Amino acid sequence: MIIYPAIDLRGGKCVRLVQGEKNRETVYNGDPIAAAQEFKQKGARWLHVVDLDRAFDEEANNTAIVKNIVDEVGINVQTGGGLRTLGDIERLLNTGVHRVILGTIAVRRPALVQKAITEFGDDKIALAIDARDGRVAVDGWERTSQLDALAFAKRMQALGVQLAIFTDIARDGMLTGININALKLFLENTQMEIIASGGIRDIGDLEKMKALNYRTLNGAILGKSLYEKRIDLIEALEFANKNDVS
């Protein structure tokens, strides 16, 4: 199980939101490069980076910072937020990130997802399943579609998606614990690898996930739990790697 420390970028700073609401923001570090370096020093092999400015369709973006993280820190990065075209995807991949995450565009232009997989490879494209009450949220989580999240996952799998990030928006940034039943639903009913996100608060949540014993559970994204020191990253990495045969 891979642990993905999260870095959400807004205005060039490392922030966390509550349930994705942009007016409920806490700045945790004004230097995202330093945050990334600290995570790597503690043993992280991956980072989960979201460009909130681009996700909210604001004028600025944080692509240069993402590139600096890749160049200066030298760590695997998966990143998303506001990607709308094949050109957007290509520009991000050219920064050296390992893979990009597609959300809203996958809902509105599923054919583009298939084209991206064909052009860049299925290891370079991940799907964001951002769910609110079982429905897929779009536009930086500001709107909720009528699309059932599991049906959406199955449709994307049929198009060639191999990896998805499942986030329960109601729990994101709340430190109320992982929605283990919702996670299990996706693990049981798809063949994609799944990364769990949203509400993870302590090692106990990681224990619950690992106890499901699904080989398709790729890992977990840790955000506020790390910044609020509810989880020690070194401890989380040691737990995730223990008896891990993946």
User: What confidence tens digit (pLDDT) does each residue in 150-196 have?
Assistant: 999 999 999 999 999 999 998 988 899 999 999 999 999 999 999 99
Name the nearest CA neighbour of 111 among 91, 87, 131, 86.
86
Buried b (16+ CB within 10 A) or exposed e, 50-60: bbbbbbbeeee
What would the mean pLDDT of 124-128 be, rounded to a whole number?
98
| CA dist 54 → 57, 58, 103, 130 (Å) | 5, 6, 12, 16
Give the count of alpha carbons within 13 A of 144, CB side only.
12
Among residues 130, 168, 172, 205, the one annotated as catalytic is 130
Is the model's pTM score more than 0.75?
Answer: yes
Q: What is the dihedral of CA 26, 28, 101, 169, to 10 degrees?
A: -40
* Residue 8: active-site member: yes
| Joined tokens for residue 208 | 């619950």
Cross-strand partners of 132: 135
Under CATH, which number does the domain 2-241 receive?
Answer: 3.20.20.70
Q: Computed from CA positions of residues 134, 24, 6, 66, in that sequence, does the dihedral angle turn out positive or negative? A: positive
Is 144 in a helix, a strand, or coil?
strand
Query: Predicted confidence band at 87 (pLDDT cuts at 50, 70, 90)?
Result: very high
**Is residue 61 within 8 Å of residue 96, measured between CB atoms?**
no
Residue type, 2: I
The pLDDT of residue 21 is 79
User: What is the rounded average pLDDT for all residues in the chain?
Assistant: 94
At 94-119, the pLDDT tens digits run 999 999 999 999 999 999 999 999 99
CA atoms within 13 A on the CB side of 213: 1
What's residue 243's pLDDT?
Answer: 67
Domain spans in the chain, listed from the N-terminal domain onward: 2-241
Q: Is 130 a catalytic residue?
A: yes
**Distance separating alpha carbons of residues 27 and 17, to the nearest angstrom:** 9
Q: How many CB atoms lie within 10 A of CB 243?
A: 6
In DSSP terms, 196 is beta-bridged to 166, 220
Share of the chain above pLDDT 90, in %: 86
Residue 56, CB-side half-sphere exposure with 13 Å CA sphere: 17
Amino acid letter, residue 243: N
Q: How confident is the model at residue 246 (pLDDT cuts 50, 70, 90)?
A: very low
